[in-house]
């Protein structure tokens, strides 16, 4: 469905924005009429502009209430126009409220199909949008009765400084619908007196990295991102350069190929397939497909590399999984395996580096395989914590520790080093300045510092993670097959069910238990009542589906599938299933 045309009143205004490229050329730019050079306060501005906001907002169709979900607003691209315009406004308000520190807007729907799109807001330090603003954003994008009142309520959240000059960094992935949405987001920013900096076509982690680097005055250009990765990778593998096996990277027909190309000089034996124009975004390929289906991705590129070792990114390159091609299928190294390898490596070097006093934690979600949890729990000095699904929750869970590893099984994760940890590692290394570089303690400290420079410190990053994993495998002289033998995964099954209203399902205990409806909770308990088995259900935060997960011991072949099917049927029956009866 197309957006409604702008109201006639606004067409007559003289202060029009932009130009030829924007189909919204008819819209007014309130900031031109209302100079924000010295705004009284944003609150005051909003109330002065009441009637203009009335004519700007609420005129594009939105099929139903949107929720901020696991990773921002998502939906069919054409249904998001009003929300994206408002998010641009919100991003500017957030930046105003932080005295002009830059806020980020990423236009992407990650692993979702090409017709979808979405928008995610990022804090100046590269972390996910503050919880209160997430709630405010949700209220604002869904307020159709009196949008200016909702905007006023939102800006009241903080004592917005008088002189704050808002700055918003905008990035987008390869979706065709991005151009229109980016225009709308820019309109929203400018309406609120903010300045837009277009980062352009970027991976989601590049936007997070750029914000953090800008906020810490460490870097300003995207090239700095690539330089940081190449340099840190070089330091890590210089220690012991085992020959890296040839590798093929499936980029899900998305933006990741651009980033992989830029770091190719560090990885000579690499073939890149499924580039942006090779085929439909994320269709039968990419990290999500490979992890959920446990199948080789479809290769749309002309030449299919004959490698044993593969990696798949998702559409916006914040997720990565790796796999070995084997007869009749693949052996998958998912996010759990990344967490196991990385945590083991870090804990070893913390011990050897004499910095065991720093705390080390690893966060997982309910989807993490029980065998991985068991493996991690046995590592000395490592605390294993569970968080709700979604990077925003995992990040929060590990920020409490000096060094925090988090990964979702679907390949989204990183290692976060607190400023305290980096400070201690640096000063411990400085104390050893007199010792020769070959000392194990000094080498371990350098290794940890290189890991902190390679792993994206703002958010999980598929490209940085690829380099990190390859460096660790090379340093440990480990093949992918050996890595895959660190533990034997329990059998698991993922099923999705469509229902009329997924919000009837309320979960607790980090998604591991259904609170409501009670009948569904009982059905799950009954289906999974066997030693070593577990199952849970939660409404997806990115798609209009309910997800069912079931896990069973290796020896109980078929049990995970059986449980998942039984529970999916219960969801269908008890929560208003739609489509073909299960
Ligand atoms: C089971 C699963 O893989 N869920 C994914 C998916 O969220 P859902 O809320 O489950 O749709 O997308 C999120 C964003 O990419 C990711 O953080 C999360 O892990
Ligand atoms: Mg993604």
Return the domain boundaries, the chain: 8-201, 231-333, 336-484, 491-574
Instruction: Give the distance (Å) from ligand 1 centre to CA of residue 366.
Output: 11
Annotated active-site residue 110? The verdict is yes
Q: What's the topology of domain 8-201? A: Alpha-D-Glucose-1,6-Bisphosphate; Chain A, domain 3 (3.40.120)
**What's the number of CA atoms in the CB half-sphere (13 Å) around residue 215?**
25
Model ipTM over 0.95:
yes
Ligand 1 near 492 CB (within 6 A) = no
> CA distances (Å), 39 to each of 103, 152, 162, 258, 278, in order?
19, 15, 6, 40, 48
What b/e sequence results for 417-437 when a residue is b if at least 16 CB atoms lie within 10 Å of its CB, and e otherwise? Answer: bbeebbebbeebbeebeeeee
> Which residue minimizes the CA distance to atom 12 of ligand 1?
542
Instruction: Give the distance (Å) from ligand 2 centre to CA of residue 499.
Output: 24
| pLDDT value of residue 242 | 59
Best substitution site from 390, 396, 536 to test ligand 1's pocket, by max atoms within 8 Å of Cβ? Answer: 390
**336-484 CATH, one of 3.30.1600.10, 2.40.128.20, 3.30.450.20, 3.40.120.10:** 3.40.120.10
| pLDDT value of residue 437 | 67
Ligand nearest to the CA of 536: 1
Structure tokens at 423: 């400070």
| pLDDT value of residue 151 | 82
Q: Could you tell me how far CA 100 lies from the centroid of its own chain?
A: 24
Architecture category of domain 231-333 in CATH: 3-Layer(aba) Sandwich (3.40)
The H-or-E segment that residue 15 falls in is none
What b/e sequence results for 454-477 when a residue is b if at least 16 CB atoms lie within 10 Å of its CB, and e otherwise? Answer: bbbbbbbbbbbbbbbbbbbbbbbe
Ligand 1 near 367 CB (within 6 A) = yes
Ligand 1 near 543 CB (within 6 A) = yes
> Residue holding tokens 């966060």?
363
Q: State how far the Cα of 50 lies from the Cα of 53, in Å rounded to an integer.
A: 5
What b/e sequence results for 226-244 when a residue is b if at least 16 CB atoms lie within 10 Å of its CB, and e otherwise? Answer: bebbbebbebbbeeeeeeb
Q: Which one of 55, 95, 110, 359 is the catalytic residue?
A: 110
Contacts of 101 (CB under 8 A, 6+ apart): 95, 124, 167, 215
Ligand 1 near 406 CB (within 6 A) = no
pLDDT tens track of the chain, all 582 residues? 333 333 323 322 222 223 322 222 223 344 444 444 444 566 666 667 776 777 788 888 888 899 988 789 999 999 999 999 999 999 998 998 888 999 999 999 999 999 999 999 999 999 999 998 999 899 999 998 888 888 877 776 655 554 558 999 999 999 999 999 999 999 999 988 899 999 999 999 999 999 999 999 997 788 999 999 999 999 999 866 556 789 999 999 999 999 999 999 888 789 999 999 899 999 999 999 999 999 999 999 998 899 999 999 999 999 999 999 998 899 999 999 999 999 999 999 999 999 999 999 999 999 999 999 999 999 999 999 999 999 989 999 999 999 999 999 999 999 999 999 999 999 999 999 877 767 899 999 999 999 999 999 999 999 999 999 999 999 999 999 999 999 999 999 999 999 999 999 999 999 999 999 999 999 999 999 999 999 999 999 888 899 999 999 999 989 999 999 999 999 999 999 998 888
| pLDDT value of residue 496 | 95
Contacts of 402 (CB under 8 A, 6+ apart): 358, 359, 360, 417, 418, 420, 421, 424
For domain 491-574, say whether CATH 1.10.10.60 is its number.
Answer: no
Going by their DSSP bridges, the two strands 167-172 and 195-201 should be labelled as parallel
Instruction: Give the distance (Å) from ligand 2 centre to CA of residue 290.
Output: 14
Going by their DSSP bridges, the two strands 270-275 and 247-254 should be labelled as parallel
Ligand 1 near 390 CB (within 6 A) = yes
Same fold: 231-333 with 491-574: no
Structure tokens at 110: 């990650």
């Amino acid at each position: 469905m197309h957006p409604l045309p702008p109201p006639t009143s606004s067409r007559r205004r003289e202060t029009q924005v932009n130009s030829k490229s924007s189909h919204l050329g008819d819209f007014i730019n309130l900031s031109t009429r209302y100079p924000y050079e010295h705004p009284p306060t944003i609150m005051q501005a909003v109330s002065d502009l009441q009637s203009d906001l009335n004519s700007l907002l609420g005129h594009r169709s939105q099929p139903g209430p949107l929720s901020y979900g696991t990773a921002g607003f998502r939906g069919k691209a054409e249904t998001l126009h009003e929300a994206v315009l408002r998010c641009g406004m919100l991003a500017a308000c957030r930046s105003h409220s932080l005295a002009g520190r830059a806020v980020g807007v990423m236009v992407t729907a990650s692993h979702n199909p090409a017709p979808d799109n979405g928008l995610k807001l990022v804090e100046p330090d590269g972390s996910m949008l503050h919880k209160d603003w997430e709630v405010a954003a949700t209220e604002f994008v869904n307020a159709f009765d009196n949008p200016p009142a909702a905007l006023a309520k939102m800006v009241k959240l903080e004592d917005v400084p008088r002189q704050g000059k808002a700055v918003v960094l905008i990035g987008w992935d390869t979706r065709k619908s991005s151009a229109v949405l980016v225009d709308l987001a820019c309109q929203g920013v400018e309406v609120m007196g903010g300045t837009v900096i277009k980062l352009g076509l970027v991976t989601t982690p590049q936007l997070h990295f750029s914000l953090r680097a800008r906020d810490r005055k460490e870097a300003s250009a995207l090239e700095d991102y690539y330089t940081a990765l190449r340099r840190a990778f070089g330091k890590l593998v210089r220690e012991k350069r085992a020959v890296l096996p040839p590798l093929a990277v499936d980029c899900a027909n998305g933006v990741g190929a651009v980033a992989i190309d830029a770091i190719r000089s560090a990885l000579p034996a690499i073939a890149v397939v499924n580039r942006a124009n090779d085929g439909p975004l994320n269709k039968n390929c990419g990290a999500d497909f490979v992890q959920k289906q446990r199948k080789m991705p479809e290769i749309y590129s002309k030449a299919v590399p004959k490698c044993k070792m593969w990696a798949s990114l998702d559409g916006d390159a914040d997720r990565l999984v790796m796999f070995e091609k084997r007869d009749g299928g693949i052996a998958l190294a998912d996010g759990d395996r990344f967490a196991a390898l990385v945590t083991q490596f870090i804990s070893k070097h913390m011990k050897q580096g004499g910095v065991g006093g720093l705390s080390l934690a690893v966060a997982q979600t309910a989807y993490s395989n029980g065998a991985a949890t068991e493996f991690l729990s046995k590592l000395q000095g490592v605390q294993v914590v569970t968080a709700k699904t979604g990077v925003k929750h995992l990040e929060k869970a590990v920020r409490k520790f000096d060094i925090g590893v988090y990964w979702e099984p679907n390949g989204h994760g990183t290692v976060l080093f607190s400023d305290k940890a980096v400070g201690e590692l640096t000063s411990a290394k400085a104390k050893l300045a007199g010792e020769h570089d070959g000392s194990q303690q000094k080498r371990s400290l350098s290794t940890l510092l290189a890991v902190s420079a390679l792993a994206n410190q703002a958010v999980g990053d598929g490209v940085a993670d690829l380099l990190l994993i390859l460096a660790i495998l090379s340093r440990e002289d480990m093949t992918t097959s050996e890595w895959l033998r660190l533990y034997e995964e329990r059998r698991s099954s993922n099923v999705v069910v469509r229902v009329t209203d997924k919000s009837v399902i309320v979960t607790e205990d980090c998604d591991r238990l259904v609170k409501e409806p009670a009948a569904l909770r009982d059905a799950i308990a009954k289906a999974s009542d066997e030693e070593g088995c577990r199952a849970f259900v939660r409404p997806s935060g990115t798609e209009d589906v309910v997800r069912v997960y079931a896990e069973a011991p290796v020896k109980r072949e078929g049990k995970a599938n059986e449980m998942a099917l039984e529970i999916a049927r219960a969801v269908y029956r008890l929560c208003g299933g739609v489509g073909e009866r299960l």
